[in-house]
Amino acid sequence: MIKHNLKIFSQNVRKNKTLIDIILEIQTNVLDIIFIQEPPRFLLKCIPSYTDPKGDLYYGTPNHLDWSLFIQNDSYIENYPRVATYINKHLSKIRFSLRKNLINHCDINIINFHNGQDVNFIINIYSDSNQTALQVLCNNTRNIRNTVVMTGNFNIRDSDWDPNV
């Protein structure tokens, strides 16, 4: 059974590597799940290549020993994911897993876990100004009925907080 008092944090870090490093380090003993929107991508290393003697460039997202990173394939600079989810390793017995087979979109992370007999989902979303990810999500709601938490950066403007809309 999953804990009832999960501590969850959601932040758009605007590709700031220093900010995400600080969050991961400082919140290790405080938070259980961190949802990040617009994670930074940076060159991690060159990997051996059959076609380029200098190697292929490999890009990645910051990681930390105390956190498990869940992100769509992040090694390619094209279609780089705009969501990353970190789950504290003290929850590793729950066995969270990224479910690309339900919705395979670079701006949606669907992660499942078992809670007794049920399969539940947590979802991290970054939706651009055209609400692309939200449209994909709306067209696939039947796949994710047992959603416990859905959060992210939805980029939905509303006249309640922006009178110019």
- pLDDT the model gives residue 36: 96
Distance in angstroms (rounded) separating the CA atoms of residues 128 and 6: 28
Residue 149: Cβ within 10 Å count: 15
The helix/strand/coil state of 111 is: strand
Distance CA 118, CA 132 (A): 29
Check residue 126 and give its pLDDT: 93
Q: Residue 158: what pLDDT?
A: 66
What is the residue extent of each domain of the chain? 8-153
Please state the length of the chain.
165
The C-alpha angle 7, 15, 32, rounded to 5 degrees, equals 15
> Which tens digit of pLDDT belongs to each residue from 60-94?
899 999 999 999 875 556 678 999 999 999 999 88
Find all residues with CB under 8 Å of 147, minimum gap 6, and list them. 120, 121, 122, 123
User: What is the structure's pLDDT at 137?
Assistant: 86
The whole-number pLDDT of residue 97 equals 95
* pTM (global) more than 0.75: yes
Contacts 24+ apart (CB under 8 A), 141-145: 143/102, 143/103, 144/102, 144/103, 144/110
Amino acid letter at 141? T
Tell me the per-residue pLDDT of 90-110, one tens digit each, with 9 for 90 and over. 999 888 999 999 988 889 999
pLDDT digits (tens, 9 = 90+) for 149-162: 888 887 776 666 66
Does the pLDDT of residue 145 top 90, yes or no? no
Q: What is the pLDDT of residue 64?
A: 96
Q: What is the pLDDT of residue 91?
A: 94
What does the pLDDT look like over 31-68, one tens digit per residue?
999 999 999 988 888 889 889 998 888 888 999 999 99
Per-residue pLDDT, averaged over 135-164, amounts to 78
CATH number of 8-153: 3.60.10.10
How high is the mean pLDDT of the chain? 87
Residues of 122-148 as b/e, b for ≥16 C-beta within 10 angstroms? bbbbbbeeeebbbebbeeeeeebeeee
Question: Using CA atoms, how far apart are residues 121 and 71, in angstroms rounded to an integer?
Answer: 15
